[in-house]
Structure 1
Amino acid sequence: MSTSTTTHARAEAQPAPTVGRGRWPLLGVAAGVGAIVATLALDIHPTGWDIDTPYSQAVVDEVSSGKAHASVIVGYLTVGLLLFLAAAWRRHVEPRALASTAARVVPLALTAAAGALSLGYGWRGAFGLYTGSEEGAFDTEGLYILFVLNDFGAYIGYLGVTVAAVAVVWMSLRERLISRWIGIFSILPILPVVITVAAFGLPGFPGVASGLWLIVAFAGLAFGRSPINR
């Protein structure tokens, strides 16, 4: 084999370097905004619900089909942003953190979240469809089943984002690849998830905390001085 061929082969085997500080983390900021809007602002639980009063099938008449429709639109956009964010992380971060297992967990966790949220937001879209343009396709009992699925459906999927936050904490406080303040802040959305699951079996808190975490953590990566994005 010639020297030029050997050199070319070695060049192809090396990871492509990233140049300068990138703004790719802004994908995470956009995903965080989408998470808050799609999950919280467009939540389909009726307002004024008394926690001491159990739901009945009559609740399906109180849910806004328009909010459910808007939620699936914004939710699916958020799913797409999470997938692009995972791909950008792999491209820009992993070549700079070759010895870090946590760095490889982040895009896997974001991808897992995107897959689960495709279902969660899809159920919201289905509810909006069958209480809107295709009203009458299901009876009240069938719609109530969809409502129950939507109780936590768009919240549970953000567990993957919580796992990504755990990996960021490790990368920050142990490996020093991310600014320390981002690691400390990233503990905040993790603790309530652990506490509520351990104490009550409540599965939905990841959807409450993940949007804010994505906004703050990835804005910090975009404009701060973390080693992985200099």
Structure 2
Amino acid sequence: MAHTDPHASADARSASLRRARWPLTGLAAGITGAIATLVADLHVSDSADTATVLQVNRPAAHLGVVTGYLTVALLLVLAAQWRHRVEARVPASTAARTVSAGLIAAAGALMLGYGWKGALAIYLPGGSDSTLFDQSGLYVYYVLNDFGSFIGWTGVAVSAGAITWMALRERTIQRWIGLLSLLPVLAVTMTVLLTGLPGFAGLICPAWMIITFLGLTFGNSTITR
């Protein structure tokens, strides 16, 4: 009977736990991003007059900025983890560096997008600074929120494209994740080319992050071994 080194087995289990832990940051960013962008969406009607803004749900705006800023923080932490855990493993991969760059770009843009939700939360009736702007001023913030928390997710779509390349070309990520990652890339590209719609990434990228980083957590990729 072959001798099994208990210390080697313990080390292997410990390495497996370390491998599976860091992608959970991406899962968390997808969940909080879906809440901040979709659950706390501030669209209220098809009306285009200044009175529309008074229909906005102020607690939803407050929820949006809280979960939104948490999403920004998680994206930045994930970018740092990716650079430390992944780029060090595949130093010749430009695609790996593009992933972290896309996450950082998304965080910067979303900081503004979710911040505009916070502005409505404090300036709407019932907010801490509700007397500072009239309806016309509030309407400006309402219009900014039309795509504010959606456009920033374009950076994550770029990261999805880089992960597609890593999976299908470099074979450092599971193939099914690469195929899945084509969806946000194609969807965002086609909507921009055909309609000019700038915020479709906000509809699809949070779900993509949830599925992809679950797959990285429990799957077997070169970057997580």
Using the size of structure 1 for normalisation, the TM-score is: 0.88
Q: Residues 149-194 of structure 1, C-alpha deviation per residue, up to 9 Å, x if partnerless?
A: 0000000001100000000000000000000000001111121111
Q: CA deviation at 1:55?
A: 1.4
Gap regions ≥5 residues in structure 1: 1-18
1:133 deviation in Å?
A: 2.2
In the alignment, which residue of structure 1 is the partner of 2:30? 32
1:154 match: 149
2:87 matches 1:89? no
Written as runs of structure 1 = structure 2, the 5 A alignment for 1:187-226 is: 187-226=182-221
- Mapped to 1, the partners of 2:50 and 2:195 lie a distance apart of 25
Q: Deviations over 1:118-157 (max 9, x none)?
A: 0000001001110022112101111101100000000000
Counterpart code for 2:105: A
Distance in 2, matches of 1:95 and 1:152, equals: 36
Distance in 2, Cα, partners of 1:192 & 1:128: 32
Give 1 or 2: higher helix fraction. Answer: 2
- 1:104-128 per-position Cα deviation (integer Å, ceiling 9, x unaligned): 1111110110000000000010011
The one-letter amino acid of 1:101's match is T
Identity of aligned residues (%): 55
Give every structure 1 segment of 4 or more consecutive aligned residues whose post-TM-superposition deviation is greater than 4 Å. Answer: none
Residues in 2 aligned to 1:109 and 1:24: alpha-carbon distance in whole angstroms = 18
Separation in 2 of the partners of 1:55 and 1:81? 35
Q: Within 1, Cα distance between the matches of 2:128 and 2:58?
A: 9
Q: 2:121 aligns with which of 117, 125, 128?
A: 128
Question: Which range moved further: 128-137 or 85-94?
Answer: 128-137
**Letter in structure 2 aligned against 1:70:** L
Residue 16 of structure 1 aligns with which residue? none
The one-letter code sitting in structure 1 at the alignment partner of 2:93 is: S
Does residue 159 of structure 2 align to residue 164 of structure 1?
Answer: yes
Query: Does structure 1 residue 186 correspond to structure 2 residue 181?
Result: yes
Choose from 38, 45, 53 the match for 2:43: 45
Q: CA deviation at 1:97?
A: 0.5
Task: Quote the RMSD (CA, aligned, Å).
Answer: 1.2
Cα displacement (A) at 1:22:
3.4
CA distance in 2, matches of 1:210, 1:22: 21
Matches of 2:131 and 2:69 in 1, distance apart? 25
- Residues 20 and 216, structure 2, Cα contact 8 Å, conserved in 1: no
**TM-score under structure 2 normalisation?**
0.90
- Matched with 1:13 is none
- For the 8 Å contact 2:103–2:156, the answer to whether it is kept is yes
Shift of 1:39: 0.3
Task: Give the distance between the partners of 1:208 and 1:92, measured in 2 at CA.
Answer: 28
Distance 1:23 1:221 in 2: 10
Partner Cα separation in structure 1 for residue 215 and residue 30 of structure 2: 13
